[in-house]
C-alpha cells in the first residue's frame, strides 16, 4: 500500500518536528539572540583615561555630577547571564515552554494513534474505505503541522518580548548609572563593536551590583 507507507513516513516526520520543537523551546533556549545593552553617551570622549575598576555604591536617585572624560565598558554576555531580571524572565519562559511542549506532544500522540488504528484496520477495508481513511489522516497531519507552526511562532514572539522588556530595563539603568558616575561613554562588549578594552575600564561588576540592587527593590 503506497499511501499507507507514505502515511507512516509522514508520521515519523511529525515526530521529528516534535523533537526539534522540544530542543529549541522546552529547554528555554532563546530563539533569537538577546539585544546588547545600548551605548550610553553624551559627547565623544576627549581621551580614554583609565577608570577605576570598582565604582562606589550608587543611589537609585539620579545625581548631577561635573562633566568628565570617563569612559568604560561592560561585558554584555556576563551582564545578561548574571542579571537577576534576565534569570527570572528565563524561568517564566521555561514555564511557558513546558506548556507549549505539552500541547505539541498531545498533537503528535493523537496523530500517531490515528495512524496506528488505520494500520490495524486497513487490510479489512475496501479500497474506498482506505482512500477515505487516508484522506482524513492526511488532513489531520496537515492540521498538526499548522498547530506546531503556531506554537513555534508563539515561542519566538514570547522570546522577543522577553528580550525587549529586560533589555529596555537594563539600558535605562545603565544610563542612570553612567550619569550618576559622571561617564561620558559606556560601551558594551560582545556586540562586535569593541575589539579591545583595558581591564581597568571594565565596570561590569559594579554595574551588575547596581542592576541587581535596583531590580530587587522594584520587583
Of residues 25 and 171, which shows the higher confidence score? 171
Cα of first residue to Cα of last residue in the chain, in angstroms, is 61
pTM above 0.75, yes or no: no
Mean pLDDT of the chain: 76
Instruction: Using pLDDT thresholds of 50, 70 and 90, give the confidence band for residue 40.
Output: very low
Q: How far apart are CA 75 and CA 205, in angstroms?
A: 9
Q: How many CB atoms lie within 10 A of CB 215?
A: 19
Instruction: Tell how strand 70-75 and strand 40-41 pair up.
Output: unpaired
Q: What is the pLDDT, as a whole number, of residue 192?
A: 57
- Reported as a single tens digit per residue, the pLDDT across 106-158 is 999 999 999 999 999 988 999 999 999 999 999 999 999 999 999 999 999 99
- Reported as a single tens digit per residue, the pLDDT across 51-82 is 444 554 544 444 444 456 899 999 988 998 99
For the chain, what is the radius of gyration of the CA atoms? Answer: 27
Give the three-class secondary structure for 30. coil
Amino acid at each position: 500500500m503506497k499511501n499507507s507507507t507514505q502515511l507512516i513516513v509522514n508520521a515519523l516526520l511529525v515526530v521529528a518536528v516534535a523533537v526539534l520543537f522540544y530542543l529549541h523551546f522546552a529547554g528555554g533556549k532563546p530563539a533569537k539572540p538577546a539585544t546588547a545593552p545600548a551605548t550610553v553617551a553624551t559627547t565623544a570622549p576627549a581621551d580614554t583615561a583609565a577608570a577605576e575598576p570598582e565604582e562606589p555604591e550608587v543611589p537609585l536617585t539620579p545625581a548631577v555630577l561635573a562633566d568628565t572624560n570617563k569612559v568604560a565598558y561592560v561585558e554584555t554576555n556576563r551582564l545578561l547571564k548574571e542579571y537577576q531580571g534576565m534569570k527570572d524572565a528565563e524561568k517564566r519562559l521555561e514555564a511557558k515552554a513546558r506548556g507549549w511542549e505539552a500541547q505539541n506532544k498531545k498533537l503528535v500522540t493523537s496523530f500517531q494513534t490515528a495512524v496506528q488504528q488505520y494500520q490495524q484496520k486497513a487490510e479489512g477495508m475496501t479500497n474506498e474505505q482506505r482512500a477515505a481513511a487516508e484522506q482524513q489522516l492526511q488532513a489531520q497531519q496537515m492540521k498538526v503541522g499548522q498547530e506546531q507552526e503556531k506554537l513555534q511562532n508563539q515561542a519566538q514572539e514570547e522570546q522577543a518580548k522577553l528580550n525587549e522588556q529586560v533589555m529596555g530595563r537594563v539600558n535605562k539603568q545603565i544610563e542612570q548609572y553612567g550619569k550618576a558616575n559622571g561617564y561620558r561613554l559606556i560601551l558594551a562588549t560582545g556586540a562586535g563593536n569593541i575589539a579591545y578594552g583595558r581591564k581597568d575600564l571594565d565596570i561590569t561588576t559594579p554595574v551588575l551590583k547596581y542592576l541587581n540592587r535596583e531590580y530587587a527593590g522594584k520587583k
